[in-house]
Amino acid sequence: MTQFPHLFAPLTLRGATLKNRILSTGHDTTLPTDGTVNDALIEYHRARAKGGVGLIITQVAGVHETARYTSHLLMATTDACIPGYRRLAEAVHAEGAVIFSQLFHPGREIMESADGLLAVAYAPSAVPNERFHVMPRVLSLEMIEKIIAGYASAAARLHEAGFDGVEFVASHGYLPSQFLNPRVNLRQDDYGGSDANRLRFLRQVLAAIRAATSEDFVIGLRISAGDRDEDGLTLPEALAACVALEPALDFVNVTTGTSASVGGAVHIAPPMAYPAAYFAADAAPFRKALKIPVFVAGRINQPHEAEAIIASGKADVCGMTRALICDPAMPAKAKAGAVEDIRACIACNQACIGHFHRGLPISCIQHPETGRELTYGTLKPASRRKRVMVVGGGPAGMKAAITAAKRGHEVTLFESSTQLGGQALLAQLLPKRAEFGGIITNLSREMELAQVQIRRGVTVTRDLVQAEAPDAVIIATGARPYVPDLPTDGQVQIVTAWQVLRREVRLGARVVVADWRCDWIAPGLAEMAARDGARVTLAVNGLHPGEALPLYVRDSIAAELHRLQVEVRPYMRLFGTAEDTVYLQHTASGDAVEIAGVDTLVLSLGHLPVTGLADDLAGLGLEVIEIGDCLAPRTAEEAVYDGLKAGVRL
């Protein structure tokens, strides 16, 4: 008897039956390299199907040449796509999951082109896109007919390849949504000017898909329950469209947000600053008004959240994509009642959507095996069991210990403090970053399951290593704050980010935060100081705050700094202090910049590696591997990946 009876109840959609209500929603993986399905994508989805997911909806498939919104889009415009899709469907079906594909045209939402040139975008009307600064060309009637035919032929190819259904993407301000939205669709022909005319494109596409496939082929619609943008589609408009289109649909998949604006796009993959399952309530009106099943997705990280949504009648299926990126076996663990063993997503967005926005294959900072299934999908047992010392209990050391132990080595982890976690213990203290501490909880549980021995409060020396007599030592001793030799007369208090986070200092009424890293640390410190009542200037040695961060994390931070009236100064290089003044230099112009009346200067200038142990161990004849910040100060993503590679290397 499962503790999640609603989540693990089967659901039949026309010719397909889902074994549970857990959905991996359509999301771009950036794994395909030539517009077709490849081995990397197949293994990525196979891992999630093997982990017990009920339904996989694969990433968008372009239906027309003008649908190329990125340089790495899967295309379903020729029969060349069929063999790859067939292999993918067979792999997923073999593991007991159902598979659909998204059918896609972005309209004016064009991010990039393959050759770096600006693309020609098409939309119902010449209404510009704010986020990508695209002015679209108005679709002609002939082009509309070709795109409708493209949807039909793409669906036919997927049907031939063995897919169970398709999802017509009308969410996030993409082309079908542009037709629906009266503020974007300004046409006065058969495709605009009235509610019925604005629905015409969607009706014709759905009819064409059904005619090109079969009666048992599943056809669904993905739509935003409001774009959360003043010019976007509203919830009542989206709901009315779904009610009108219901006879042609087998399900509706509800999400929120739009690609068209910075504020609306944050909701496409909301970061940890947003509460779990925060817009599930928006699905409830759809569930009430429609007789067909309603799906919902967005920040649903844990099975108990999904169970509650379904039990309350808000939706029938829950999209849990980032949860599955983080732990492909989450459904199987939930069904078995092993909820403590689930590696919970912390919505950092760093390696999933963050990689996608950089044009890189997606992964997960906690589970770097994701997106690398061909290399790390199966850990090979060690050819010889070794005694391994891991020095440092931060994310790098913990992942190394887990990986080595899983491969059969005898592993002991040594941590000099009484707590595991390293800098993650500090990261979780920043505003709206408490969930980051989940990486410690998850890795700690994995160490327990892998039977890693842990010794806290122990500083490792050469003598201790000689006494332990290991075969290998993995060094993960981390980093410390970088404090440059600044000219100062001592009148302005100068403190580090770590001191502020530990509440070891009082900041005063006027604070300057010097930000060299351009990540989430300095903006978080600025927010803390502002909330404590200080007047704050964030001096960024970059183009803008959060320059190194995933877009949606950065944009959420920018919004909060604006609300708190934190002064942001970009292009700032810290020079020093004198009396009550902080001196900076504009990095582009070279001009001097002065900020007077300052009580405290907070340094967020990066870190220095804690080295030395490797040198101390020279001559002992041991295999020594340095990983994480002691190798080079970076982020938790690199630290955990270093740990994985070190554990595999032994």
Could you give the residue numbers annotated as active site?
A: 174
As a dihedral over the C-alpha atoms of residue 141, residue 223, residue 360, residue 403, rounded to 10 degrees, the angle is: -160
Q: Please, are residues 267 and 282 in contact by the beta-carbon 8 Å criterion?
A: no
The per-residue DSSP string of 514-538 comes to EESS-SSHHHHHHHHHHHTT-EEEE
Q: Which of 641, 628, 23 is nearest to 369 (CA)?
A: 641
Q: Please, are residues 319 and 20 in contact by the beta-carbon 8 Å criterion?
A: no
Sign of the C-alpha dihedral computed for residues 635, 636, 641 and 645 taken in this order: positive
Measured distance CA(518)–CA(451) in Å, rounded = 38
Sign of the C-alpha dihedral computed for residues 300, 305, 307 and 312 taken in this order: negative
Q: Please, are residues 7 and 303 in contact by the beta-carbon 8 Å criterion?
A: yes
Q: How distant, in Å, are the alpha carbons of 365, 449, 627 from that of 635?
A: 9, 25, 12
Q: In 3-state terms, what secondary structure has residue 118?
A: coil
Q: Which of 466, 363, 473, 482 is nearest to 414 (CA)?
A: 473
Q: Which residues of 108-118 are buried (b: 16+ CB within 10 A; e: fewer)?
A: bbbbbeeeeee
Token pair recorded at residue 488: 């100062």
**Cβ-Cβ contacts under 8 Å for 268 (sequence gap 6 or more):** 172, 255, 257, 259, 353, 552
Measured distance CA(407)–CA(527) in Å, rounded = 44
